[in-house]
Amino acid sequence: MSYQKFFNPEESYSRSEIEALQLERLQATVKHCMDSPFYKERFRKAGLSPSDIRSLDDLKKIPFTTKQDLRDTYPFGMAAVPLDKCVRLHSSSGTTGNPTVILHTQKDLEEWANAVARCLWMVGCRPEDVFQNTSGYGMFTGGLGFQYGAERVGMLTVPAAAGNTLRQLKFFTDFGTTVVHAIPSYAARIYEVMCERGIDPRRDTKLRTLVIGAEPHSEDTRKRIENMLGVKAYNSFGMSEMCGPGVAFECPEQNGMHIWEDYYIVEIVNPDTLEPVPDGEVGELVLTTLKREAMPLLRYRTRDLTRILPGECPCGRHHIRLDRMKGRSDDMIILKGVNIFPIQIETILMQFQELASDYLITLETVDGNDGMTVDVEMKDLFIDDYGKLQALTREITRQLRDEILITPRVRLVPKNTLPKSEGKAVRVVDTRKKY
């Protein structure tokens, strides 16, 4: 069957068409933001009114929005529509500090599905494909986000959700899965189990396309996954504050992720000065939503570090391309697609009176799998009993898992054995293969 190249007409807009649409939508968004108690107050304090936004350049007059703003207004203080117009929320994990909430109207969900569908269509997903999603569903946006996007494309969807690799493999072979969404470390795990079971992905499955994202990974990791599974693997970028997946996605050129500028205005700023960085330089990604109803966000500091790739993309799309994420401008850890702040771990550890105050979080790749080890110092007064020490280790592990949704390896270490640098403790060591 032959299909059109672009999923939406906006996808092929020229720069001037994109920018004209952006200005129109920015002005509408700013006006709509006045229905949000948070933004109304913020504009009042800044002495700004929606009519001050006359050009895209005027965006700079608007103060930044931060994750702390989302926490401070938890749960519904940012809403720009009455709650009865909202049909879903997604919330961050964790119970320490305030989590964040993102609200969606029915139209928001439709736009989100459209953006994800556009991404999938771009890399060749078509209605005859079978799409299997190995993301956790529920609050994790990689589940429902890809589900609705894949349905919008018209693919047969297999909402397998996370884990149970043998069952995933059975679905591959029984249902003829052609497209899989998986975090990179899970793609490696799938291959491992295939090898154990004598399954040759090229011979025994119809896998063709892998969507990998939500976890920082290197070009080498992508190549390895492609070679292992005999597929093309495309990098996906999203975050729950911007709905989830569908924000930026690689095209068949596999050279940078097109960010959909009819949905977002992109700025890259120096995280210290908050001034724009010159084109092509790495800085913090700042996004303004252009079509969101329930919870528009103006100049949201994502804390992700990246750069805009210069030049035109041979694929014919003029939406700018983001380079792979280069890290974070805060201390957030992204492990297996889960966002974790060290303070969450610290808060749990400090509840144990047996433990001293120093700890070290190590992120490492072992056999292609990313994992976390938490070393924590014991207090001076310690227990001369292996059974009790092991029970203590298990209890710490359980409580950490409940908080961060990932099971770390917990090691009790003697006091004064963890590294300190210039009096300030090193809390996180990341040796994963990425970027």
Partner 1 sequence: MTVHQLSVFIENKSGALVRVLRILKQEKIQLIASTIADTADFGICRIICSQPEKAYNVLKEAGVSVSLCEVFAVELDDRPGMAADAIEIFAREGISIAYLYSFLLNGKGVLIFRTDNAEKAAEVIASNGLNVFEEKDLSRLL
Query: Which spans of this chain sit near partner 1 (rule: CB under 8 A)?
Result: 378, 380-382, 384-386, 389-390, 393, 411-417
Minimum CB separation of residue 244 from partner 1 in Å reads: 37
Cα–Cα distance measured from residue 130 to residue 286, given in angstroms and rounded to the nearest whole number: 35
Minimum CB separation of residue 374 from partner 1 in Å reads: 11
Minimum CB separation of residue 313 from partner 1 in Å reads: 49
Question: How many Cβ atoms from other residues are within 10 Å of residue 20's Cβ?
Answer: 13
Minimum CB separation of residue 388 from partner 1 in Å reads: 10
| DSSP 8-state assignment for residue 9 | G
Minimum CB separation of residue 355 from partner 1 in Å reads: 12
Q: Which of 219, 217, 225, 234 is nearest to 432 (CA)?
A: 217
- What SS3 class is residue 45? helix
Minimum CB separation of residue 392 from partner 1 in Å reads: 11
Length of the chain counted residue by residue: 435
Nearer to partner 1, 182 or 376 (CB): 376
Nearer to partner 1, 173 or 390 (CB): 390
Q: Which of 147, 219, 233 is nearest to 186 (CA)?
A: 233
Nearer to partner 1, 91 or 373 (CB): 373
Order of strands across the sheet with 409-413? 409-413, 369-378, 355-366, 428-430
Q: Cα 94 vs. chain centroid, distance in angstroms?
A: 16
Nearer to partner 1, 287 or 356 (CB): 356
Nearer to partner 1, 363 or 405 (CB): 363
Nearer to partner 1, 9 or 414 (CB): 414
Nearer to partner 1, 164 or 390 (CB): 390
Q: Which of 342, 204, 213, 317 is nearest to 259 (CA)?
A: 317
Minimum CB separation of residue 383 from partner 1 in Å reads: 8
Please name the residues in contact with 135: beta carbons below 8 A apart, sequence gap of 6 or more. 142, 143, 146, 161, 162, 181, 182, 183, 214, 337
Nearer to partner 1, 19 or 364 (CB): 364
Cβ–Cβ < 8 Å for 242, 289? yes
Cβ–Cβ < 8 Å for 153, 178? no
Minimum CB separation of residue 346 from partner 1 in Å reads: 20
- What SS3 class is residue 3? coil
For 65, 288, 371, 376, the CA distances from 338, given in Å and listed in that order, are 22, 23, 12, 22
Nearer to partner 1, 57 or 384 (CB): 384
Q: Cα 62 vs. chain centroid, distance in angstroms?
A: 25
Cα–Cα distance measured from residue 140 to residue 145, given in angstroms and rounded to the nearest whole number: 9
Minimum CB separation of residue 251 from partner 1 in Å reads: 46
Nearer to partner 1, 369 or 417 (CB): 417
Cα-trace Rg, the chain:
23
Per the listing, tokens 């090229």 go with: 202
The tokens for 291 are 């079509």
Minimum CB separation of residue 406 from partner 1 in Å reads: 19
Cβ–Cβ < 8 Å for 194, 201? yes
Biggest CA–CA distance in the chain, Å, is: 73
